[in-house]
Amino acid sequence: MISSDDRTALLEEISIHPPMRLLFGPGPSQVHPRVYQALAQPVVGHLDAYFFEISSNIQRLLRTVFGTKNELTFVISATGSGGMETAISNFVLPGMKVVSFANGFFCDRMSEMARRQGAELVRFEKPWGEVFGDQEAAEFIRLEKPKVVMYVQAETSAGAFQRGDAICKAAHEVGALVIADCVTSLGAMPVEVDKTGIDIAYSCTQKGLSCPPGLSPITVSPRAAEWLQARPTPNRSWYFDLKLIADYLTISHRYHHTASATMFYALHEGLTLIEEEGLQNRWDRHHQAHLEFVRTLEAMGLEMLVAPEHRIWNLNTPKVPQGVDDAKVRTTLLKEHGIEIAGGFGPLAGKIFRIGLMGPLATTEHVHDFADCFAAALRGAGYKR
């Protein structure tokens, strides 16, 4: 037997000590202390009655933040990319014509997943940071007459928010289903699945919901659920088969996979915090923080990549000033202030910063504190203003 003193020494030897960070990047976002407390609660089994009680509450709370009455609303045990794979693998068949509105990295990822399902992919492309107008989007859909339409509501790689009303309306006119990536918007901006007409929407836990990464909320409209039930062949992916997952979480509770009770606790607490604050209040808080952020940075002489009416509130993309090394700015923020932000990649590499204002950090006070550190880091990297 290990003595008490030896056990204590062993625990001290193997314990970890992560640095404290202020997560102002595009994700993961800052986690609320109550969510951390939820993570520390005792584990129950994935078939325990208490687990399904928590899961049921999550489904109810998710319907509110998604803006939907969809019965088929729950979480996938995977990150946001797993939610993307779930949506596409369940509703895209080989040879099926799929339209993808492509204006960023995650639109490209959706396209690649659709290709791997054997889809006949047609892309409407725009430069990263731009969005699609209602008329041009509708005309493209009516011209192509696809079976599935895909778009990213909040494109994390560029900071652009794509409104989907016209896309969904035109898609439904030609009998197509609409898949929308709501990974960055859910919990911080209006997603409004039912009002917009989205058929399948997925997200993640580590951005607007301010929880650790590891789960992917998903919701499926009645018309999409009807299509799924009539699907002529099984999903090629067993793990991401929505029929099997729905049966496990909402119907028979028969074993499908070993879901993490602690991750469900964390999401439950994160969604409870949103319910307590009020969804509209939460949206307003993120919007006001965004507006204050833009005002503050423009006063510093910086420019934003995306036009004002198309900006994501909780993910801001100011341009890197000419002559400034963005990597040096980011390194200074991390080393001197414990602040994490991200740079651009792909065609925007070295051209933008990606700065998140999510959850606990979406306040005027945090905006000003960040701006002071950011200004000092910019000066250290050669910014003369």
Say what the pLDDT of residue 16 is: 85
Say what the pLDDT of residue 7 is: 57
* Residue ranges of the chain with per-residue pLDDT less than 70: 1-14
Give the CATH class of 33-274.
Answer: alpha beta
Tens-digit pLDDT profile for residues 339-352? 999 999 999 999 99
Say what the pLDDT of residue 380 is: 97
State the Cα torsion 268-274-275-281 to the nearest 10°: -170
Say what the pLDDT of residue 15 is: 80
Is 3.40.50.720 the CATH number for 22-28+278-380? no
Q: Where are the domains of the chain?
A: 22-28+278-380, 33-274
Share of the chain above pLDDT 70, in %: 96
- Domain 33-274 in the same topology as domain 22-28+278-380: no
Considering only CA atoms, which of 3, 316, 309, 333 is closest in space to residue 134?
309
Say what the pLDDT of residue 9 is: 62
Say what the pLDDT of residue 5 is: 65
Say what the pLDDT of residue 6 is: 61
Say what the pLDDT of residue 8 is: 61
User: Helical H runs in the chain?
Assistant: 4-14, 33-39, 49-66, 80-91, 105-116, 134-144, 165-173, 193-196, 222-229, 242-246, 261-277, 279-299, 326-337, 364-380
CA atoms within 13 A on the CB side of 322: 0
